[in-house]
Amino acid sequence: MDIATQKQLEDLKAQHAPLIEQLVARRRNSVQSALNVAGEEFRSYFESLGFQVSGSYPSRMTAKYQSLEFSLQFDEAQRIGCWAVAEVQQIAPKKAAASAMLVMKGTGSTLHAGQSDPVTEMKREIQETQIALAGPEPQFEFMTKEAAGVGQRPGMPALKRYTSFGEFLRDKFK
């Protein structure tokens, strides 16, 4: 790669960096908003069952009814394909936790086949970032890994999607 091309690539990287910062901040705010709603749905669900609920997102939340106790904790460490995990644990009496992953609706990996030069690739990345910034706020849903069902390969978990955290709670904590 000649010096002129290297300089052009550096200029494109400098143009791309602030766009990426904006996109990261926007997605972080969207994730926090989705988790805040999940916390409110936890509160609403357990209060409707007569529990006293304390705490709020981003801290641990607890729902208590006499000797029954449930907790909700948020793990915002990003994983591949997952923006956060919300874990509900029945503390008293102790039972296995149920976790729901926060995932972006309708997204999948994009694969660009073929050879492209670094300048063309960086221009494409800038364009994709600008489109993402100009588009609607990201929409999220919750997903769980279920045990393999009949007709599925052993060891391959089934994925179950929930449009809201409240739907997840109603399914797992009846």
Instruction: Report how far residue 122's alpha carbon sits from residue 12's, in angstroms, rounded to the nearest whole number.
Output: 7
Q: How many CB atoms lie within 10 A of CB 90?
A: 16
* Number of residues assigned to the chain: 174
Evaluate whether residue 2 is within a structural domain. Answer: no
Supply the pTM of this predicted model.
Answer: 0.81
Q: How many domains does the chain have?
A: 1
Q: Which of 2, 19, 21, 20 is nearest to 119 (CA)?
A: 2
Residue 87 lies in a domain: yes
Q: Which helix (H) or strand (E) holds 119?
A: helix 118-134
What are the tens digits of pLDDT across the range 54-113? 999 999 999 999 999 999 999 999 888 899 999 999 999 999 999 999 999 875 555 555
Q: Is residue 52 part of a domain?
A: yes
Q: Is residue 42 part of a domain?
A: yes
Share of the chain above pLDDT 70, in %: 89
Is position 3 within any domain? Answer: no
For 108-137, write each residue's pLDDT tens digit.
555 555 667 899 999 999 999 999 899 888
In a domain, 5, yes or no: no
CB 158 within 8 A of CB 35: no
> Please, which contacts does 13-16 make with residues 24 or more away whose CB atoms are closer than 8 Å?
13/122, 15/126, 16/122, 16/125, 16/126, 16/129
Q: Quick check: is 6 in a domain?
A: no
Domain with 36 in it: 11-107+115-172
